[in-house]
Amino acid sequence: MRLSLATPPPELTALLDSGRLWRGQQAPRIAAEASGHARLDALLPGGGWPKAALSEVLHPQPGTGELALVLPLLARLTQAEQHVAFVAPPLIPYAPGLAQGGVRLDYSLVVQTPNPAESLWSAEQLLRAGHAAVLVWADAASVQSLRRLQLAAEESGGMALLFRSLKRAAEPSPAALRLAVRREHGTPRVQVLKTRGQAGAGLRPVALGQ
């Protein structure tokens, strides 16, 4: 018996619409949340942070501009009464600054952990508990642990945002999106290193806020 997918069943249609499955000879649909940075969104498939996926933000040192990169996303999610979490941040998030950026503190959680393994485990559990976005700082992370984090994001529909040193850029990663943030002449700039299905290395960095 030949099965025709000209009119797929509802279950298959849902997978196609979610961006987790696509037909051959057809560009994949990628469900995404806008980053709030127009020039960056124009470079990203789906126009922003991929949903139900792991993304990496690589930076030379904390305070380079990595939080400015994600602040519009966190503001939008928390204002929609969705929960976000910061796991093992190297610096305590400055609550007045977050609030000024539009982040609702009553929908924000900070979790401190003793080591990177506990940080990644905590991030998995928070995703599975229904957090819309989990930011986790864990520089030393194996490919296996990253795959578990990616799986937790896929199964929960949430976004895992992993912050690591720029020195990790050459290491393999299952992340759907990898971005590098650097500060040039006092301005944070972001470069696309990898997007789902293609490498983005070589694209010119764009300034945040544009």
Express each pLDDT in 133-157 by its tens digit. 999 999 988 999 999 999 999 999 9
Q: Residue 36, Cα to own-chain centre: how many angstroms?
A: 13
Query: What domains are defined for the chain?
Result: 31-207 (3.40.50.300)
Express each pLDDT in 93-131 by its tens digit. 999 999 999 999 999 999 999 999 999 999 999 999 999
State percent of the chain over pLDDT 70: 80
Query: How does residue 177 score in pLDDT terms, banded at 50, 70 and 90?
Result: very high
The vertex-117 CA angle with 115 and 122, nearest 5°, equals 95
Q: pTM of the entire structure?
A: 0.82
Per-residue pLDDT at 58 exceeds 50 = yes
Q: Write the Ramachandran bin of 116: left for phi over 0, alpha for psi from -120 to 50, otherwise beta.
A: alpha
Give the position of tokens 């305070």. 63
